[in-house]
Amino acid sequence: MIANHIHDALGQVDRMRELILERRRFRGYSGTARMLGAVVALATTLVLDRTQTLHTPLLQLAGWSIVLSCALILNYGGLALWFFRRRGSDHPLADLRPALEVVPALAIGAVLSLALVLRGHYDLLFGVWMCLYGLAHMGYRHSLPGGIFAVGFFYQVAGIACLLVPGINFLNPWPMGLVFFAGESVGGWILRSVPVEEQAESHVNADEESDHETPC
């Protein structure tokens, strides 16, 4: 009898832990938006590679700036729609905390990029972008599925390789294009595999109802 009570108590602890993690999970990012960004990155890579007139550092940089702009519009546009749908939330700004926590890493990436461009070190840009973007993924380790952490690790490994392996040329867009196509495709698939918020709420209600049951 005591063993059964202990087993039930441990089961309730596990359910409470899962419930807490489920409530902390951030659902503001769109997996579809990330996958569309992957397509944009690959398409831009093809254009930059096959258009001879674009084979200058500044024009290549302009091409990647377009990719960045599209990614921001897709991802943060989706985030804005999600936020406005939650206007009835008790803590609307707190809901955005996971998205705001990665801003410092992205801001440092922008500053480093500007410094490298001003000094003409274009060949280091791919590695810096990948490393800082991967670091931003690490900030989601408690609020997004564990697979996103793995995607961030992939970006960091690829970035380190681009920084240390000789022969990486900014005028060759394929290292950047392939890494971001792979990373954003997988990241988008992971986000799309997460249950929608309504399903999570149904789990919460089920757990609350079970807590009100009279023990035998």
Quick check: is 210 in a domain? no
| Per-residue tokens: 22 | 């489920």
| Residue of higher predicted confidence among 197 and 189 | 189
Give the pLDDT band (50/70/90) at residue 193. confident
Domain count, the chain: 1
Mean pLDDT (the chain, rounded): 81
pLDDT higher than 60, residue 210: no
3 state DSSP class of 157:
helix
Closest CA to 54 of 62, 201, 83, 90: 62
pLDDT higher than 80, residue 70: yes
pLDDT higher than 60, residue 9: no
Quick check: is 162 in a domain? yes
Report how far residue 26's alpha carbon sits from residue 148's, in angstroms, rounded to the nearest whole number.
12
Give the Å distances, CA to CA, from 80 to 40, 100, 140, 167: 21, 13, 18, 41
Report how far residue 99's alpha carbon sits from residue 102's, in angstroms, rounded to the nearest whole number.
6
Range of the domain at 53: 27-192
Quick check: is 105 in a domain? yes
Length of the chain equals: 216
| Per-residue tokens: 159 | 């970035």
> For the whole model, what pTM was predicted?
0.78
Helices (H) and strands (E) in the chain, counts: 9, 0
Give the pLDDT band (50/70/90) at residue 91. low
Quick check: is 10 in a domain? no
Mean pLDDT, residues 4-17 taken together:
50
Among 43-57, 80-94, 146-160, 182-196, the least confident range: 80-94
Mean pLDDT, residues 149-174 taken together:
95
Quick check: is 156 in a domain? yes
Cβ-in-10-Å burial (0-12, 13-18, 19+) of 137 comes to buried
Among 74-83, 91-100, 137-146, the least confident range: 91-100
Report for 92-101, 129-138, 177-186, 196-205: range of highest mean pLDDT? 177-186
Quick check: is 15 in a domain? no
Cβ-in-10-Å burial (0-12, 13-18, 19+) of 134 comes to buried
Using alpha carbons only, give the angle 170, 172, 174 rounded to the nearest 5 degrees.
Answer: 115
Quick check: is 41 in a domain? yes
pLDDT higher than 80, residue 14: no
Torsional sign, CA 115, 57, 124, 185: positive
Quick check: is 211 in a domain? no
Cβ-in-10-Å burial (0-12, 13-18, 19+) of 208 comes to exposed
